[in-house]
Structure 1
Amino acid sequence: MPSKSWIPWIASLLTAIAFAADNTTCSSNATTLHLTDGPYENYFYSDCHSATHVIITSPLPSTNLTLIGPRLLIAWPAGNSGIVAFFSPSNGQNGTLGIRLKNSTSGPALDPIYTAGDSSNWNASVGVSGTIVFNDSAVLTVPILGSIRTIRDFTEGPSIIYPAVQDAINFSSSTSDSATLNRTWFDNITTTTLSFTPLNGSDAITLDRNINTTLTFAPGTYRFNASFNYPQLTQLSPQAVLNNASTDLIQQSPDQTTSLSFLSYTDKLLAGTWRFLTYFGRDSMISLLLLQPILSPSATEAVLASVIERINATDGSACHEEVLGDYATWLNLQKNVSSTQPGCDYKMVDTDFFVPIVLKGYFVDTDSGRGRAGRFFNRTAGFLEENAGKTYEALALRTAEKIVNTTAAFAAEGGQKRENLIHLKDGEVVGQWRDSTYGIGGGRAPYDVNTALVPAALRAIAALSRAGLFPSHPDWNSTADAHAQIWEDESLSFFEVSVPRDAAKQLVDDYTSNLTIYSGPSHSEDITENVLFYALALDGNDGQDNVRVMNTDDCFRHFLLNTTNQTQLTGYLNQTADHVLQPWPVGLSSDVGLFVANPAYGGAAVYARNFTNADYHGTVVWSWQLAMMAAGLARQLGRCDGNATSNIPDFCEDGELYAKVLRAYNHLWTLIDANGEQLSGEVWSWTYDDGFHVEPLGSFTPTESDIRQLWSLTFLAVHRENFRQSLA
């Protein structure tokens, strides 16, 4: 992404309290934030009534106009709701229309909208107002009002339009030359409204009902009002999100702590904005694992409660993504059910295993968690209708039982077979964090799940059992540990890929010579021995036995496990350090960060085709993977400072290897520091011209990166640590 400017307009944020319906003003408590990530201008507004993210998209001279056009987008955390309005130049010449937001009379670009509820609708109408400027005449081509999910389906898929949504939009004009769009949701209660009014002598807005019911704007300035009347969430202030020892971060990192607050609420933390402005289980739990040293008990338990609330009580599956608001009502109607009840997506296989890991991380490993465990597990669920009245302990037990049962076959005597590994669910092409169509190359048994998440979850279940949880399974305090040991020691070999030196050099040269996006060196001369790495998954596309893509998912095992098979650990750390240190396409390192995938050793054309700098999980950089790799390597290096010599791993006594791992750790932090402006975003890509240059992923694909992602804020808690430089 090009250079960003972070401009926190007001340093303080609202406290996490609910205001009475007649409290019509609270602008003095507002927080605003402006983030530039061209061609996207991001404006955040939060006050005591609501929170809003507004994105103005205006093409730059370098913009790919087939992917990016003028756009006003409003995203609200409540109900995962929003509005998008796409514009095109009236003259039909793409690239000639530019739009921008002006500062309001009060200073910030956005002003609040608040109208108290009444007897006909007890929900207040909330939103924002701003001033938009068109440099040329414009046509509103496609408006979508209601759900962020509906907007995502349009922007990221094949421009999916739902007639039932679009046909419900009402257009109207008034004698004041303004125009209004509104749509009543499928619940027949909630209404989203977007209106435009000319300012400063700008021409009237023309409503043309003969051209798909659209609006035409002359060059000039217009006031827009965007609002809806859905129940709001209660936001946590930075002071409420952070524990007492970490509140100094509010002054040290105002952008990141304000962003974290924007994504934090009393009943859940949201994955990112604008595209994922709702609950995602995996994202929440990974974020908690990395942020836990700085989070308050309230924020920690908001994550844990949100996960437990959404467990499928029938089979123990943990929820990947919640579905609520207008989109939930619409999905219910597709099943001939008239209901506003929320639902959950349970297609992932990795999310289950994080549940005991995060429960153990808080309720066993922290003083505050141990003191609050009884009260927490005695709570009863209420978010999902089918879970109403079930205790958190019963729901957590259901997930633990699922994990123990599904992992038992591999742990049994003689059971260490490929077919007993954890596989994606039937009919699904995704199941873990690389959840795009080709994210794990069509593989069925994911590397991270089988080699890290399963043993870590079993270790956690054993620890929770020893702490008094799951009393109906007293044997778990030892059997879960025993099963974890087998998974730790025996799963890794199924994914091992070893490429002979000469073959590896040829593969890298061939891969590089066929790349049109890269004109740099292949660095194949750096390959001096066989190349070892671990496949992304087993059983890949085009009949591949395994997905031969070097990757960053080693970070899970380093971060979650203290393995004790010394020969295996030594080799594993050695190959990870090589990948971090070696430049792409030999390794994973580049000036813009570690690429999460390197397909150079695949050989088959399918690898280079599906793992590019335009792919969501291709040769791109993800912030949270940098954070987990840094934290994971720190955990392993930290084992060398143990007090009991019997617990110090063998690699700590190998001066050459210790120095290499430390060098990899420090090199990783050099890359992290060099890309500090990108770290709070979701994912970024690159171009190459005598070196790597950061480029937004959205420059190459309709899937744009969130400007702020929950698990990308984890560098608030993950820092470079000082380790001894040698064994001497």
Structure 2
Amino acid sequence: MMYLGGLVQLILSALLGAAAADTACSNAPSRLHLSDPPYDNYLYSDCHSSTHVVVTSPLKTSNLKVIGPRLLIAWPSGNSGAAAIFVPEDGSTGTLAIKLDKSETGNEIEGIYVQDPLEYGVFGWVNFNSSARLTIPILGSIRTIRDYTEGGNVLEPTIQDGIVTTQGPNGSASYCRTWFDHTTTTCLMFAPTNGAAPIRINKGPKWTMTFGAGTYLFNAVFNYPQMKQLLPAEVLNSASRSLIQSNEDQTTSLSFLSYSDKLLAGTWRFLTYFGRDSMITLLLMQPVLSEGKGGAIEAVIGAALERVNNTDGSACHEEVIGDYATFTHKQAGIASNDPLCDYKMVDTDYFLPIVLKNYLVDTATGKSRTSDFLSTKATFLKENNGLTYKTLAEMTTNKILAATAPFAKDGGQKKENLIKLKTGQPVGQWRDSANGLGGGRIPYDVNTALVPAALRAIAQLSKSGLFPDHAWWGTFAEAYASVWEDKTLSFFEVTVEKSKAISDVQSYVSQSKFSGPSNTGNIAADVTFHGLALNDSNNQAIVRVMNTDDCFRHFLLNTTDQKQLSSFLDQTAEHILQPFPVGLSTDVGLFVANPAYGENDAYISDFTNSGYHGTVVWGWQLAMMAAGLSRQLGRCSGANMPGKISRPQIILSVYAAS
């Protein structure tokens, strides 16, 4: 109760006008308000901690079965947070509106840092337009909150049963939960202000809280160790710091996701390490990111190496940390708080040598840092403790060479020797939703772009002396790369005769009830594209879905088969210029998938504008397509530097928007 008493004292101190945040920070807090109704997002960072607060207040046009009043607090450290789900106490669904009020300082969010007992967090003032009931508190892991909001309202009883509800003084009330580590505690507290009614606790199987109309102080704190955030000037290199003024929102967002030991995937729903996402970010943004020890580039590459599986060289897709890691261990009958890694993806491995080469071989800073960086010893995973980054890089390299050898050998250019999803896994690359590959098992992007690009990178790393104990790797990798570059595209090629293409598009428009024009008058010849994958669940040889994954090959490779390259560039240009549903172009960008030529009703129902990888736009795919085509056009003038980007501020803007 002493811990709870200290937290209640924080509330009372704030109510009396005392400062709840430590003032020792030398820099003013970083704040960003992004409004996208029904969501209001507030990013707050200071020298102690970082917090994302999301207020959801449904609009009249909102789907009230999905969107309800909600206050959510997300912390990068520990991939943790707190959520409060509200319903109207009086009146019908859709009548309750919530918002944050500004304090006397003009800010909606203020920071909390207390040394004894140690607490980090934020406080602010939430306003209800009418009486409200807090029906569901969720405290602990972002994964737990996401499982509820996106997993069909699933709540784990052993997590929820740990929440303690307490009535405090002056009409205040709190929810607190100690994590499975028996050390960390998350608390969410409320107290009435400006004459608002005292909070009433409703006892029962699930204790709820009732609030009156008016404004309540809320206070969200936890005591988990914090990470070191990189400020905008630390994320960007010196040549790109003008972006801090010209693209303030984007650079503030980038900083919020950047830490000295890793970059995080998007907030709030993920807010932890994802290997593929981090390395794609690096590939697109390397011209503007900081180099050297403590910089953003080494944070990305170091995080990937730290998390390599030392049994087979696989690169980590997603880490599991904090409360959810302890919970996962507990489910397996293990008492441990150690982090875990997910290794189910097949594409992440191939990004690692590419980013290593782009930094350690292609930049002056990287060359000067090679010895010190690769001699760094891993500390994140217990099983990797003491292994050097060089050793871990060699493990992944060895895995890639072994996996790609069968296809590269004489007579080995067969479908069965291409890279497949792992046995028992329905996903394995960036289109990692249930229907993202249309049931395919051999992904187009991995085989035609990532594999040969990784092999080219391994060859250059070897030639630069990075693998002295494996001098032959460079020769083998170079030879393998040529075969994978030249001999994989044909496996995925789809050609639809003109009259059939017109019929397919018209049929798609009819079956999908697409409200726009068919644009079939634009089809002047046979339509050629490369399908998403091979071997789908309906036993078709190719998943006949037009897509944007051409961008990987344009961005990552300088192929030498000129006839093939010309044809490939031509068909890509045709797709991105032709309006949907003939091609991929729309007023808001390129759709990442077009199922019109699929000859499969399932594709029409799976690849929709509500599908995660359906007829939707992904910002980074737009950026990679633009950068890839720029690279290929640059080869005409000799400007063939790998990954060269002429306007990094555009890439930064697209990244932040995605």
Give the TM-score category using the shorter length. Answer: over 0.9
State the Cα distance separating 1:23 from its structure 2 match.
6.1
Provide, for residues 230-259 of structure 1, a one-character-per-residue CA deviation record: whole Å limited to 9, x for no partner. 000001111111111111111111111111
Q: Deviations over 1:122-158 (max 9, x none)?
A: xx21100010011111111211100001111111112
Q: Counterparts of 1:498 and 1:85 in 2: how far apart (Å)?
A: 52
Query: Is 1:623 matched up with 2:619?
Result: yes
The RMSD of aligned alpha carbons is 1.9
Alpha-carbon contact 1:24-1:116 (below 8 Å) kept: no
In 2, are the aligned partners of 1:27 and 1:47 still within 8 Å (CA)?
A: no
Matches of 1:300 and 1:677, distance apart in 2: 18
Amino acid aligned to 1:359: L
Which secondary structure does the structure 1 equivalent of 2:316 belong to? coil
Identity across aligned pairs (percent)?
Answer: 59
**Counterparts in 2 of 1:517-666, with a 5 A limit?**
518-642=514-638
Q: What letter corresponds to residue 158 of structure 1 in structure 2?
A: G
Please give the alpha-carbon distance, in whole angstroms, between the structure 1 residues aligned to 2:495 and 2:389: 45
Are residue 680 (structure 1) and residue 656 (structure 2) matched? Answer: yes
Tell me the distance in 2 between the aligned counterparts of 1:34 and 1:543. Answer: 49
CA deviation map 1:470-496 (0-9, x unaligned): 122211222211100000000111100
Q: Do the aligned residues in 2 keep the contact of 1:25 with 1:114 (CA within 8 Å)?
A: no
Q: CA deviation at 1:542?
A: 2.5
The 8 Å contact of residues 179 and 196 in structure 1, kept in 2 or not, is answered as yes
Q: Could you say if the C-alpha distance between residues 28 and 316 of structure 1 is closer, same or farther in structure 2, counting changes exceeding 3 Å? A: closer
Query: Paired residues, what number?
Result: 631
Please name the residue that 2:98 is paired with: 99
- Normalising by structure 1, what TM-score? 0.85
Q: 1:131 and 1:681 mapped to 2: Cα distance?
A: 28
Does 2:135 align with 1:141? yes
Instruction: Give the letter aligned to residue 262 of structure 1.
Output: F
**Aligned amino acid, residue 593 of structure 1:** G
Map of 2:250 onto structure 1: 256
Match of 1:432 in 2: 429
Counterpart CA distance in 1 for 2:164 and 2:564 is 64
- Paired residues of 1:206 and 1:217 also in contact (CA < 8 A): yes
Deviation string, structure 1 residues 83-135 (Cα, Å, up to 9, x no partner)? 111111123521111100111122111011111045xxxxx211000100111
Unaligned runs of 5+ in 1: 1-21, 119-123, 649-664, 683-728
CA contact (8 A) 2:27 2:47 kept: no
SS at match of 1:542: coil
User: How far 1:28 moved relative to its partner?
Assistant: 5.2
Q: Aligned match of 2:278 in 264, 284, 287? A: 284
Gaps of 5+ in 2: 1-20
Matched, 1:204 2:198: yes
Q: Could you tell me whether the CA contact under 8 Å between 1:27 and 1:112 is conserved in 2?
A: no
Q: 1:677: Cα distance to partner?
A: 8.8
* Aligned partner of residue 657 in structure 2, secondary structure: coil
1:367 corresponds to 2:364: yes
Q: Which residue of structure 2 aligns with residue 183 of structure 1?
A: 177
Q: Which of 381, 394, 415 is residue 384 of structure 1 equivalent to?
A: 381
Deviation at 1:180, TM superposition (A): 0.3
Does the alignment pair 1:473 with 2:467?
A: no
Change (3 A) 1:291 1:275: same
Give per-residue Cα distances to partners, 1:623-677, cap 9 Å, x unaligned.
000000000000000001028xxx99xxxxxxxxxxxxxxxx99xx9xx99x999
Q: What displacement does 1:448 show?
A: 0.3
CA distance in 1, matches of 2:269, 2:131: 29
Task: Answer whether contact 2:320 2:339 (CA < 8 A) is retained.
Answer: yes
CA distance in 1, matches of 2:169, 2:492: 69
Question: C-alpha distance in 2, partners of 1:181/1:406?
Answer: 51
- 2:147 is equivalent to residue 153 of structure 1: yes
Separation in structure 2 between the aligned mates of residue 351 and residue 152 of structure 1, nearest angstrom: 23
Letter in 1 for 2:296: A
Q: Which has the higher contact order (CA 8 A, sep 6+)?
A: 1
1:334 aligned to 2:334?
Answer: no
Match of 1:715 in 2: none
> Secondary structure at the residue paired with 1:543?
coil
Tell me which amino acid in the other structure corresponds to 1:583.
P
State the match for 1:515 in structure 2: 512
For the 8 Å contact 1:552–1:596, the answer to whether it is kept is: yes
Equivalent residue letter for 2:269: R
Secondary structure in 1 matching 2:610? coil
Structure 2 letter corresponding to 1:556: F
Spell out, residue by residue over 1:302-360, the C-alpha distance to the aligned partner (whole angstroms, 9 max, x if none).
Answer: 11110000000110000000000000011111121111100100000000000000000
Alignment correspondent of 2:298? 301
Partner of 2:14: none
Q: Secondary structure at the match of 1:176?
A: helix
Question: Partner residue of 1:237?
Answer: 231
Instruction: Please list the CA deviations of residues 384-424 of structure 1 after superposition, one character each: whole Å capped at 9, or x if unmatched.
Output: 00000001100000000000000000001000000000000
Structure 1 letter corresponding to 2:382 = E
Q: Is the 8 A contact 2:22 2:112 kept in 1?
A: no
Q: How far 1:26 moved relative to its partner?
A: 3.0
Preserved CA contact (<8 Å) 2:238 2:290: yes
Deviation, structure 1 residue 25: 4.0
Mapped to 1, the partners of 2:376 and 2:185 lie a distance apart of 34
Find the counterpart in structure 2 of residue 50 from structure 1: 49
Q: In structure 2, what is the Cα distance between the partners aligned to 1:520 and 1:462? A: 48
Give, in angstroms, the shift of residue 679 of structure 1. 6.0
Asked if the contact 2:250–2:652 (Cα under 8 Å) also holds between the matched residues in 1, the reply is: no
1:43-75: per-residue Cα shift (whole Å, max 9, x none)?
010001000000001111111111111111110
In structure 2, give the amino acid aligned to 1:356: P
The residue identity in structure 2 corresponding to 1:37 is D
Deviation by residue 1:175-218 (Cα, 9 ceiling, x = unmatched): 31011000000000000000010111011111011261111111
Matches within 5 A, 1:81-96: 81-91=80-90, 93-96=92-95
CA distance in 2, matches of 1:507, 1:205: 61
Hey, what does 1:112 align to over in structure 2? 111
